[in-house]
Structure 1
């Protein structure tokens, strides 16, 4: 039969309440002699505390709720690695929820995680261009904060709490200048959904760079996925004239672009160059290796968790710098070689 808290109390010669205070690290401290007796009894009986009972006795202690758009997306998988690494260092359990870029689902998860009394909430996906939704989400998060919860976000949001802000616009601007420096003037951009702030920020950076050279890119919007990249690239190939470079706003879309160009017999970078964004692990393994903008994704997850678990109660904002990683998928257009 399972060993109970009462069994531990009998062996230690203390009350069950004393055992509970020791096991749950209660604010009402137990003197060291009694504490040692309880811990010795726990070890002798191989007692395993009831997780549900611990949660009731010690709310907001163990779990941190994380909402991502899709943990199977390499972008969020890398961020989650950082979140888990930092959570493990703090002895925290991570509860991961996929919103699949559905605002109402995200709102429902916030309410659910609040009801579970998690210690902190981290929203790791892009913000939305939806003022009504943002106001509703802020109301939930503000109430959660007022009850003692902590909030951190990754990306540009108009939300309460601390934030890790990736340099999406600055990274896109810098890559745009490098592309122009190679002589590209017919530029196709495959962008994510218009509703996401990440799409806006990256597209703004590229457009700013191209505008300085008098270049107007052709933009195709699709899902931030490989299939979205396939769809948008096919549309760009039907355009007249075809671009000399395809700029994808994330690496998953860029992989879809490479696949489509290969199937159509278009050589990369001889006929059309391709660039991505984020520097997923696969970016160096595709053929040709992908030129992209690197964001410190694992570090972004670690920093968001540190903000959520840190001692500083006030909201803080930390930048995450972007760097260009130049690989073989981008070269001067054929007319300039």
Structure 2
């Protein structure tokens, strides 16, 4: 007689259905939840695969406390990164302002690497009503775990891998465009950029906004990568100067990296903005306290957190998506560095 665990292990999984149908697991999830964002043909392929494999969805219905409960903010970064980057505090402050008045508390979980993902999913399953997933890198392995758990989830930023969860993003591409236009209008001709991690959509969108806008003018872009930390910005700026000693402007994909870039420029004897103009991204508090104060692209971080919280409350309350994902505007803030 087979053990129960053996019988469960033999059952077809969501991944088996996706493989049979030739689609992603996210698409299978959308079919199972009745999402309108699946074509009739794809829906037919998935339903056929479900029928052929005898797949049965095993997740239990999600329950929540009607008088309030808790929402977990899962940040896929180290705790060191979380506490050193003001973006996260601003985002979670905005989310908390929307959650607390209606009886929900916000819990924080830092997930450093894949070895901690299963533990985070178990934490969620034990009593969290919803999840705000922040700082995803690449196709986040947490998403299938959260989907299996059935927990309502909203993402911070556009994900690299398509799936059914709604997200709230800012106009990273348009913000980078605005920065480049400002630098060109000021007469800068030799522009570089310090981009963020290549496995994040926000980084890709900011880099694309920079390179495409600059390429349209016939100028050649030059780029180096950082990881959104101050130290990486300092190192990347040093590499840019080595590659383009005549650089006269740089767009940096975060204010922390821009603060590091200012350090490198000062050490190299370059005056800002006389020799090199610098524009950051975020409008974090650090931007007002650099020397000189930093021109930057402001993204409404607190509003992004509050919007994510409202979306997850809608999912918790009625189990339906709050509509299409949200894109918030960015604004160029001019200070002394450019």
TM over 0.5: yes
Q: Deviations over 1:236-260 (max 9, x none)?
A: 1212433101211011100001122
Compute the displacement of 1:193 (Å). 1.5
The equivalent position to 2:288 in structure 1, one of 266, 284, 304, is 284
1:18 — aligned with what? none
Separation in 2, partners of 1:270, 1:106 = 47
Separation in 2, partners of 1:318, 1:61 = 24
Corresponding residue SS for 1:87: helix
User: Which residues of 2 match residues 149-168 of structure 1 at below 5 A?
Assistant: 149-157=151-159, 158-168=162-172
Separation in 2, partners of 1:164, 1:240 = 36
The equivalent position to 1:111 in structure 2, one of 121, 127, 144, is 121
Flag structure 1 segments of 5+ consecutive residues without an equivalent. 1-55, 331-337
Mean Cα displacement is larger for which, 235-244 or 316-325? 235-244
Separation in 2, partners of 1:298, 1:105 = 30
Compute the displacement of 1:114 (Å). 2.7
1:303 — aligned with what? 307
Q: Deviations over 1:3-33 (max 9, x none)?
A: xxxxxxxxxxxxxxxxxxxxxxxxxxxxxxx
The equivalent position to 1:123 in structure 2, one of 133, 136, 145, is 133
Separation in 2, partners of 1:305, 1:174 = 29
Separation in 2, partners of 1:81, 1:315 = 21
Q: Is the 8 A contact 1:60 1:118 kept in 2?
A: no
1:91 maps to 2:103: yes
Compute the displacement of 1:117 (Å). 2.4
Separation in 1, partners of 2:305, 2:227 = 23
Q: Is the 8 A contact 2:67 2:103 kept in 1?
A: no
1:267 maps to 2:271: yes
Q: Is the 8 A contact 1:278 1:295 kept in 2?
A: yes
User: Which residues of 2 match residues 170-181 of structure 1 at below 5 A?
Assistant: 170-181=174-185
1:76 — aligned with what? 88
Separation in 2, partners of 1:295, 1:227 = 22
Q: Deviations over 1:175-204 (max 9, x none)?
A: 212211222221111111211111101101
Structure 1 runs (4+) greater than 6 angstroms displaced: none
1:141 — aligned with what? 146
Compute the displacement of 1:285 (Å). 2.0
2:39 — aligned with what? none
User: CA RMSD, aligned part only?
Assistant: 2.3
The TM-score normalised by the length of structure 1 is 0.73
Instruction: Count residues in correspondence.
Output: 265
Separation in 1, partners of 2:241, 2:116 = 36
Separation in 1, partners of 2:175, 2:333 = 11
Separation in 2, partners of 1:96, 1:187 = 39
1:64 maps to 2:71: yes
Separation in 2, partners of 1:269, 1:109 = 48
